[in-house]
Amino acid sequence: MTNRRKFLAGVGALATGSAAAVGTGAFTSVSANRTVNVALADDSNAFVGLEPGDSELVVQSGSTLQVNLDGTGADGSGANMDAVTTIGDPDNPQTNHAFKIIHQGTQPVLFKMNYYITNTGWIQNNGNGQSHMTFEVFGDGGSTAENYPHQSYNNDFSLGQPNGSGFGESGTPYSAPNRGDGYRFNPGDEYYMVMSVNTTGSNASKNDDLSGTAVLEPATSTSQDKWDPKNPPSL
């Protein structure tokens, strides 16, 4: 059995002006419309669920999570230029995260996540120095992060699973060659996602358009010992 989840994300052009220091989970005021919609694909046999964190910027409507980066949150705040805007706390992700990924099935699964930018016309020099979005996923004892746009943007370059006891090589620091080894997302386990938008690059512009679609692809496995996040089990 295989399943597919899509996160439909819209993070439009960025606002002008400088930003004050941005703390974890806090944003500065803007006027433009920017929203990230995290939507579950319809699947009656779903074994992976999403649940928003405590940030007022992340709300749930049916099967969709909406992340407000446009100043429409309860505190009237949003992302801005020359700032790192973070939802969640990488030092305490279990209690402070943008959302968590929950295994609500009965079989261990493997998964990867890709973020596909809709409009890549603004990306120059592989995105170096331009605005970018970071997804960092945390598990039991480790984490892994990826910036988008990536030098392989819109190619199948994925955010792998975190390393730590319970999955990956227990006690082994994260490294790219090992990040596919032995990953198992077991029933009842949770992963925690921290998100950030970084507009501090020397080439960042108010026209940088981070809108796109993030896809979480889990797959069951009963015999496979390892997989490469760049080439996961077929869905």
pLDDT in tens, 65-100: 777 765 444 444 456 788 888 899 998 999 999 988
Question: Which residue ranges make up each domain of the chain?
Answer: 5-220
Confirm whether pTM is higher than 0.85. Answer: no
Q: What is the mean pLDDT of the segment spanning 15-34? A: 34
**Both tokens of residue 43?**
């699947």
- 116 has a pLDDT exceeding 90: no
Range with the poorest average pLDDT among 78-82, 147-151, 164-168: 164-168
Res 175: pLDDT: 33
Contact between 127 and 175 (Cβ < 8 Å):
no
Q: What is the mean pLDDT of the segment spanning 115-133? A: 81
Torsion of CA 220, 8, 55, 23, to 10 degrees: 110
Res 98: pLDDT: 92
